[in-house]
Structure 1
Amino acid sequence: MAGDNYGVTLYTYHGCPYAHRVHIALAELGVKYEEVIIDLDKPREQWYLQQVNPRGLVPALKISSSALGGEHVLIESEIIVQFLADVVPGVLAPASNTPQGAIARARINYFIDTWNTKVGSFMFNLFRVQTDVEREACSKEWIAAIKKEIEPLLSDAKPFFGGSPSLTLAEVNVAPFVLRIYALAGADVLPKSLTDGLDGLPNFTKWAQSVQQVPSALNIWDAPKVVERTKERLERMKHAKQPQAAKA
């Protein structure tokens, strides 16, 4: 990518798991880029809304190249990392112009879709529950969903998805959430019973341990800060749900 005189700018926020995906992909592909931090704790500035992403979200990736006919801005993390994998095929995913490559891509996409639709929402569900009983029940449901949906898909991980010795597009998309599961459970933001239960899933545990050791996934990862910000967010949610005192 660098050899084609691409200019790459990543609009990001280091605490965002979706932006984290793009950081991982860029690191794995060895792409040099300029980084612009967008503070999500403040209203978006007009230049960002008008020139980069009208939705006001991160990440966004600006690509400038004569090969592309000028400047393009991509938004939505899954679309961005898929684009990067296509631009540099064979690193995060094989090129899809062969039957073998197309099958491998389909398997990766199925894994990502399964995580997103069958497993990923449980973290946010746990953030919303009120009591310890609800926390434990939701934790058990999450473990059961991972056992049913994800554990079989990792049967051939060596150590990464599909028998790959190196990170794939599957890990790029899911690693930020794997890191958060273990960090938040370790700090009792998520139930400790969650990771205790996951320890009973050999395929998932071995794969997750490998994911947590990959340098590209750790470049911007700040576990204490993520834990602190999550606690603050949950505290705000808790106060928002409390009924206001009746006026005299």
Structure 2
Amino acid sequence: MAAATNGTVSSAHGQNGTSGGATPPKLPFEETIIDLDTPRPHWYLDINPGGLVPSIKYTVPGLVDSEIIYESAIVAQFLCDAFPSHLLPSSHEDPLAPLGRARINFFVDTWSSKLSAFQMAAMKAPVDEKQAKVDEWAAAVEKEIEPLLADAGPFFGGSKELTFAEAIVAPFLLRWYAFANDKYVPASLVRKLDALPNCSKWSKAVREKESVTKIWDRENYVEAFAKKYGNVLVAMR
């Protein structure tokens, strides 16, 4: 099926969604970059009326004329399902593949459900409450994520290459480290995360992976985020 399909991936570099290392290699897709700081082009709105980024226009000749798939995690999941690779092996690849997929999905769900609210909570907290928010944040990582990385080697589940787990959570990890600079989030967050044996080794490997960082524009992202949410963020300095 993969050889008979084609499509267009519309993404936004610098936004750093789940694209760095998140897609299997050599896909039959054309990538189009969308500038989030300007109105969506008319041609894009014609095929994607909501203007959502990223998205995929997916076609299977004779079967699917054209369908748009939205939202970064769903786009990444779709690509990995359509084109199995080291990121997320097919469930039929070997008897352990379904178990590996379940473990990855649990890790991603845990990250999303247990940790996703901490960044904004810390950034919006009054100055005298920020350290307490960071303490809660780091404690949650230690409780929920540290045990799940016990066999990381260096990536999730002992993998030597990135997995779908890193593909989904790496953008959030990069943002944590970018914002923990004593402006909106105390820098002590980084020290606390780096003190966790499993998490620190895994985090370092993820943040040093070229396929993760190749489209990550740290300064531009931080500036754009502060501009967008500046009315609710509380600065320390």
8 Å CA contact 1:160–1:210 kept in 2: the answer is yes
Which residue of 114, 119, 126 maps to 1:118? 114
Paired position in structure 2 for 1:157:
152
Higher helix share: 1
Structure 2 residue runs without a partner (length 5+): none
8 Å CA contact 1:29–1:91 kept in 2: the answer is no
Query: Which stretch has the larger CA shift, 176-185 or 28-37?
Result: 28-37
Which residue of 137, 140, 156 maps to 2:135? 140
8 Å CA contact 2:88–2:101 kept in 1: the answer is yes
Paired position in structure 1 for 2:221:
226
Q: Normalising to structure 2: TM-score of the pair? A: 0.87
8 Å CA contact 1:185–1:191 kept in 2: the answer is yes
CA-based RMSD: 2.4
8 Å CA contact 1:189–1:231 kept in 2: the answer is no
1:196-234 Cα shifts (integer Å, max 9, x gaps): 111111111100000011111112111111122223234
Which residue of 44, 51, 54 maps to 2:47? 51
Which residue of 3, 17, 24 maps to 2:21? 24
Shift of 1:39: 3.3
CA distance in 2, matches of 1:187, 1:219: 25
Shift of 1:5: 5.2
Q: Normalising to structure 1: TM-score of the pair? A: 0.84
Query: Which stretch has the larger CA shift, 132-141 or 165-174?
Result: 132-141
Cα 1:227–1:238 shift into 2, 3 Å: closer
Cα 1:156–1:238 shift into 2, 3 Å: closer
Cα 1:51–1:165 shift into 2, 3 Å: same
Query: Which stretch has the larger CA shift, 31-40 or 193-202?
Result: 31-40
Q: Which amino acid aligns with 2:145?
A: I
- Percent identity, aligned pairs only, is 42
Q: Does 1:206 align with 2:205?
A: no
Q: Which amino acid aligns with 2:14?
A: G
Q: What pairs with 1:1-248 in structure 2 (closer than 5 Å)?
A: 4=3, 6-17=5-16, 20-26=17-23, 28-31=24-27, 33-44=29-40, 47-52=43-48, 54-66=49-61, 69-97=64-92, 98-129=94-125, 131-186=126-181, 188-237=183-232
CA distance in 1, matches of 2:47, 2:182: 39
Q: Number of aligned pairs? A: 233
Shift of 1:182: 1.1
Shift of 1:144: 0.6
Query: Which stretch has the larger CA shift, 151-160 or 94-103?
Result: 94-103
CA distance in 2, matches of 1:206, 1:86: 28
